[in-house]
Amino acid sequence: MKNRFLRIFLCVCVSLPLFAQQASQPTNADRVTAAEEFRRGVQAYYRGAFNDAVMVFEKALSFLPGESRILEWLGKSYYRTGVEGAALQQWRFAQEAAPGQLLLQNRIETVRERRTISPEFDETVRYVEAGFIPSHTNSDILFRQPVSLYPLADGTYWVSAYGSNELLHFDVNGIILSRSRGPLGGFDRPFGLAQLSDGRILVAEMAGDRISVLSPGGTYINSFGKKGRGNGELLGPQYIALDSVENIYVTDFGNARVVVFNREGDPLFSFGKPSAKFSGFTTPGGIAILNDQVFVVDTIVGSVYVFDTAGNFVQTLLPEGSIPGCESLCTWEGALLAALPTRAVYIEPTTGKYFDIARLGNAPMRITGVAPDANGNILLTDYRGETIQITSRMDELVGGLFVQIERIYTDKFPAVSMELRIEDRNRNPVVGLKNVNFMVTEGKRPVTNMKFQGAAYKDTECDITILIDRSAESNAYHTQIRDAISEIAVAMKGRGTLRIVSAGEIPVQEGAGNPATGTWNDFVSRAAPSSRWAFDLGLRLAANDLITAAKKRAVIFLSTGTVGDMAFEHYSLNDLAAYLNNNGIIFSTVFMDKTPPPAEISYLSNSTGGSSYYVYRNEGLSSLVSDILFAPNGVYILSFDSALQTDFGRAYLPVEVEVYLMNRSGRDETGYFAPLK
């Protein structure tokens, strides 16, 4: 009897693995159910219901465990909810289930890099040539002797061509959009460029001894300044810079000084002559203004001097011989860039530390202009070689562009439209792209009737959600909160949608509507102030309705200056930042009192491209909305006609997009379902 039970036990033990293996094999019914749940998940994702998509994809996996495509979509849904750790885990599972997916591997690497704290900008960072624009083709001369350039927020840039007496407007692909030849008699050796806040372009004419003013499109308006040595007179003006109130500072090469005008061209004063503290300029060249400190290069001497905006000498930032032959100077992310004959130099404005950021080799050249463009490149004008050089970070050039197909609309199938988000590997939006920068395919075959429908960076309206701090301290700031809401509503000029959320212990949606028609002046919060107010829950609620809102969107936090003990009880700081970033939402803060911002709030603002403001600052809050409108935005809309069979709406239809910009490229591929029939 004992041996009989032993034989039965052994037979059962041997058969269990085989039974488990058979049980783990999905049936045809499982596959059908998983396919239906997967279709529902894809549709939820494209509606912006990412939490619903997560649940549906999880359900699909319960019927078809280990399916690579479902795992990849589950990771995409987690990514859009801000839970990047879970997204990376699902993508790794998908990669293990179907090895060799290079595009998925690139996505994993990019997201993983973004989650690490970026190292400080230092001398190890290098910009290398990503492309160049020659001055001539085989048969035509396009321009002669480029000197200076001025980038615009849409990715385009103006270049002054000293030799051909004109200004040229280039797009991101290096194509000339327009030319400006100035007044009726033409420019007389155009040199430095600047732009006023109303869009007017300033051009220093070196041989004309004047500053010409052009419309934003390049049409000549008027000129100011004249030849001479008196106040407001010039002898060989070169470079231009503007201070915070848009006074115009011009380096006057012939008079060895800086001449200052107001924004309408009326002369104010000049500075730079020898004094008790300053030995005087020899050959003033590049000029830049940062935090209302005026930095001026002395070209032959090779030094950089610092003045206040009244022209008083402050200090020598770089002593003689530091950067000999330096021509122009510009600001860049709180630092300075200087153009030397064969290289660009990064200068730390407080310590004077400097190092090469880009080298162009030993070929005959003379770099006279340097400026960062809207896409993170550094542009250089080579006067002697007559080219415009585009340089990019080495890691960006190798890694390429990060392309994401975010939404596909199929309600008019076979006409299909889709939204793409184009960024570099450091999450900076790429702007200025056109139809020629995109290629769309279905199953690797080019689509028909592909059209470029628009770019979000051109949008003139934005949606804003105001998040109100309802801490116990907020009771003392009723007036400031109402004033801030009212001023923001007015600044939106009746465009877009304004929403209000109160971050109490339980967040409350207070209301939404057109900023011009709501009773924003009389706002009274329905949420009671509490010491247990939940910033994280309030921020998630504020961001939720923005997921499917206008492409330019932001949360503006009205803060008393603290975050509270419950600030990150439910969602971590990194998850909140990821949720905002992965859905293109800017986070800015208006402080009710003059107080140092909490580190957590500063982190959210800095990582999403937002800023901090004081509610009663002198210039008001209207520029807050302008900052949101003019912030770079990398969303594009394309359309095409599909040629694929839909199986009555049940077939998964593949689509791929490739994006090209100079020597950089990126790719994404996904799929969608046509409407059921």
pLDDT at 73: 98
Digit-coded pLDDT (tens) for 573-628: 999 999 999 999 999 999 999 888 899 999 999 999 999 999 999 888 989 999 99
Distance in angstroms between the alpha carbons of the first and the last residue of the chain:
65
Burial string for 438-451 (b: 16+ CB within 10 Å, else e) reads bebbbeeeebeebe
pLDDT at 132: 92
pLDDT at 400 over 90: no
Burial string for 123-151 (b: 16+ CB within 10 Å, else e) reads eeeebebbbbbebeeeeeeebebbbbbbb
Check if the beta carbon of residue 628 is closer than 8 Å to that of residue 464: yes
pLDDT at 111 over 60: yes
Burial degree of 284 (CB within 10 A; 0-12, 13-18, 19+): buried
Q: Which of the 8 DSSP states describes residue 531?
A: T
Q: Look over the chain and give the mean of its residue pLDDT values, rounded to a whole number.
A: 92
Tell me if the domain spanning 22-115 has CATH number 1.25.40.10.
yes
Q: Given 3.30.530, 2.60.40, 1.10.3470, 1.10.3720, which CATH number is that of 400-458+634-672?
A: 2.60.40
- C-alpha 196/C-alpha 199 separation (Å) is 5
Give the lowest-confidence range in 95-99, 118-122, 400-404, 645-649.
Answer: 118-122
CATH 2.120.10.30 boundaries in the chain: 127-397
Check if the beta carbon of residue 401 is closer than 8 Å to that of residue 422: yes
pLDDT at 395 over 50: yes
- C-alpha 162/C-alpha 166 separation (Å) is 7
Pairing of strands 367-372, 378-382: antiparallel
pLDDT classification of 527: cutoffs 50, 70, 90 = confident
Q: Is 209 left (phi over 0), alpha (psi -120 to 50) or beta?
A: left
84-97 and 573-581 are packed helices; what angle lies between their axes, rounded to 10 degrees?
A: 70
pLDDT at 10 over 60: no
Check if the beta carbon of residue 287 is closer than 8 Å to that of residue 256: no
- C-alpha 30/C-alpha 272 separation (Å) is 81
CATH 2.60.40 boundaries in the chain: 400-458+634-672
pLDDT at 139 over 90: no
Measured in degrees and rounded to the nearest 5, phi and psi for residue 188 equal -120, 85
E strand segments, 491-550: 498-503, 508-513
pLDDT at 107: 95
Digit-coded pLDDT (tens) for 488-525: 999 999 999 999 999 999 999 998 999 998 778 778 88
Q: What is the mean pLDDT of residues 15-21?
A: 37
pLDDT at 8 over 60: no
Backbone CA torsion sign across 369, 140, 134, 157: positive
| CATH architecture, domain 463-630 | 3-Layer(aba) Sandwich (3.40)
Check if the beta carbon of residue 580 is closer than 8 Å to that of residue 81: no
Check if the beta carbon of residue 84 is closer than 8 Å to that of residue 111: yes
Under 8 Å CB-to-CB from 606, ≥6 apart: which residues? Answer: none
Digit-coded pLDDT (tens) for 325-359: 999 999 998 999 999 999 999 999 999 999 999 99
| CATH superfamily, with its number, for domain 127-397 | TolB, C-terminal domain (2.120.10.30)
- C-alpha 564/C-alpha 599 separation (Å) is 13
Structure tokens at 89: 């885990």
Q: What is the mean pLDDT of residues 101-126?
A: 82
In which element (H, E) is residue 581 found?
Answer: helix 573-581
Structure tokens at 611: 């800023």
Peptide bond into 216 cis (omega under 30): no
Q: What is the mean pLDDT of residues 263-285?
A: 95
CATH 1.25.40.10 boundaries in the chain: 22-115
Q: Which of the 8 DSSP states describes residue 252?
A: E
Closest CA to 559 of 471, 463, 464, 500: 471
Check if the beta carbon of residue 367 is closer than 8 Å to that of residue 408: no
Alpha helices in 65-193 (DSSP H): 68-81, 84-97, 102-115
Q: Which of the 8 DSSP states describes residue 670?
A: E
Digit-coded pLDDT (tens) for 196-215: 999 999 999 999 999 999 99
For residue 562, give the 3-state DSSP assignment.
Answer: coil
Which value, in Å, is the radius of gyration of the alpha carbons in the chain? 29
Closest CA to 636 of 659, 656, 619, 617: 659
CATH 3.40.50.410 boundaries in the chain: 463-630
Measured in degrees and rounded to the nearest 5, phi and psi for residue 632 equal -60, 140
pTM of the model: 0.90
